[in-house]
């Protein structure tokens, strides 16, 4: 059982001397940026579309979560070891519906990629669900959340005292306000960021591989987006055809906010082994956008 207090050391990088690498060149600034008005969708949770026109067209969706909001609870995908692997995969919308969440994103990397739900899959890197270790940590960083909704983005080795939910990513994109992402190929991206005061969690889904609509982003550009939203710490989660952001619609059914592209088909969700979801109190009807 993971113990009840989160050590601040969990949010500190491991000590040691690594190989020296040349710094990434400064990222080309995003241009034609549009971050829409934040619309409340649940108590303490707002949403907005994001887009830009340069250096390429990008479209996406963001959630802003007040970690002090009453009634807010997180949950990562729980284990299911009836088969030979750690979980049985679900689309993000199915995860939201099954566990009665108000919002969810895909999270940690995984394998293998499958077309049908309920197939055995393994998570790559750390995943904790309701204090249960689902997948052992590897070298990749992770987003850690305590039972009191304290959030941090940590690098291995992890100290998991008090961590109730955690999901690994591919790498950091913001560290103490500095963009540490890389250039290279653009893909759909899912990411998470934390505000400097630690009060706000940002979730981001950037669409890609859709010429004429949204090409995708490098991890440098993901870092730029998270900084524009208000984050000083950021992590690039699993992306590509798995990128998905879903909320519970006014009718209680899952509403996919972005445009996933599993199998190269726009609007098609991929089955994922890892999700991060949240429960939040519903707004009064008059406040629902």
206-263, pLDDT tens digit by residue? Answer: 999 999 999 999 999 999 999 999 999 999 999 999 999 999 999 999 999 999 999 9
Q: Which two tokens stand for residue 64?
A: 């802003």
For the ranges 26-30, 85-89, 260-264, which has the lowest average pLDDT?
Answer: 26-30
CA distance 71 to 104: 16
Nearest 10 degrees: Cα torsion 122, 243, 55, 142: -50
pLDDT given at position 286: 52
Nearest 10 degrees: Cα torsion 50, 262, 137, 169: -20
35-83, pLDDT tens digit by residue? Answer: 999 999 999 999 999 999 999 999 999 999 999 999 999 999 999 988 8
- 12 pLDDT exceeds 80? no
Instruction: Report residue 47 CA to chain centroid gap.
Output: 14
Q: What is the DSSP letter of 92?
A: H
156-212, pLDDT tens digit by residue? Answer: 999 999 999 999 999 999 999 999 999 999 999 999 999 999 999 999 999 999 999
Residue partners of 251: CB distance under 8 A and separation at least 6: none
* Confidence grade of residue 1 (pLDDT, cut at 50, 70, 90): very low
Beta bridge partners of 163: 146
Are 36 and 190 spatial neighbours (Cβ–Cβ below 8 Å)?
no
Are 244 and 269 spatial neighbours (Cβ–Cβ below 8 Å)?
yes
Give how far Cα 110 sits from Cα of 89, 167, 202, 237, Å: 10, 11, 22, 11
- 22 pLDDT exceeds 80? no
* Confidence grade of residue 23 (pLDDT, cut at 50, 70, 90): low
Are 175 and 154 spatial neighbours (Cβ–Cβ below 8 Å)?
no
* Averaged pLDDT for residues 129-141: 97
pLDDT given at position 25: 63
CA distance 227 to 194: 9
Instruction: Report residue 237 CA to chain centroid gap.
Output: 6
Are 158 and 137 spatial neighbours (Cβ–Cβ below 8 Å)?
yes
203-217, pLDDT tens digit by residue? Answer: 999 999 999 999 999
CA quadruple 216, 48, 148, 100: dihedral positive or negative? negative
């Amino acid at each position: 059982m993971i113990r009840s207090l989160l050590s601040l050391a969990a949010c500190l990088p491991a000590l040691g001397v690594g190989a020296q690498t040349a710094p990434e060149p400064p990222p080309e600034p995003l241009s034609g940026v549009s971050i829409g008005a934040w619309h409340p969708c649940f108590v303490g949770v707002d949403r907005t579309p994001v887009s830009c026109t340069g250096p390429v067209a990008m479209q996406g969706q963001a959630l802003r979560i007040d970690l002090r909001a009453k009634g807010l609870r997180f949950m990562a995908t729980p284990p299911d070891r009836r088969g030979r692997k750690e979980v049985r995969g679900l689309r993000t919308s199915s995860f939201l519906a099954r566990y009665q969440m108000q919002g969810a994103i895909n999270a940690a990397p995984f394998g293998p990629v499958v077309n049908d739900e309920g197939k055995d899959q393994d998570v790559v890197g750390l995943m904790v669900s309701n204090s249960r270790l689902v997948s052992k940590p590897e070298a990749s960083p992770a987003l850690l959340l305590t039972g009191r909704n304290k959030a941090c983005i940590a690098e291995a080795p992890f100290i998991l005292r008090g961590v109730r939910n955690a999901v690994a990513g591919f790498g950091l994109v913001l560290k103490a306000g500095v963009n540490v992402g890389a250039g290279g190929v653009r893909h759909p991206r899912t990411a998470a960021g934390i505000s400097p005061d630690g009060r706000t969690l940002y979730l981001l889904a950037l669409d890609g591989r859709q010429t004429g609509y949204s090409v995708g982003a490098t991890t440098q550009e993901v870092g730029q987006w998270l900084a524009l939203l208000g984050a000083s710490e950021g992590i690039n989660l699993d992306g590509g055809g798995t990128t998905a952001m879903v909320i519970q619609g006014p009718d209680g059914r899952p509403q996919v906010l972005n445009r996933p592209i599993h199998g190269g088909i726009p609007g098609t969700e991929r089955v994922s082994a890892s999700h991060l979801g949240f429960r939040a109190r519903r707004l009064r009807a008059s406040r629902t956008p």
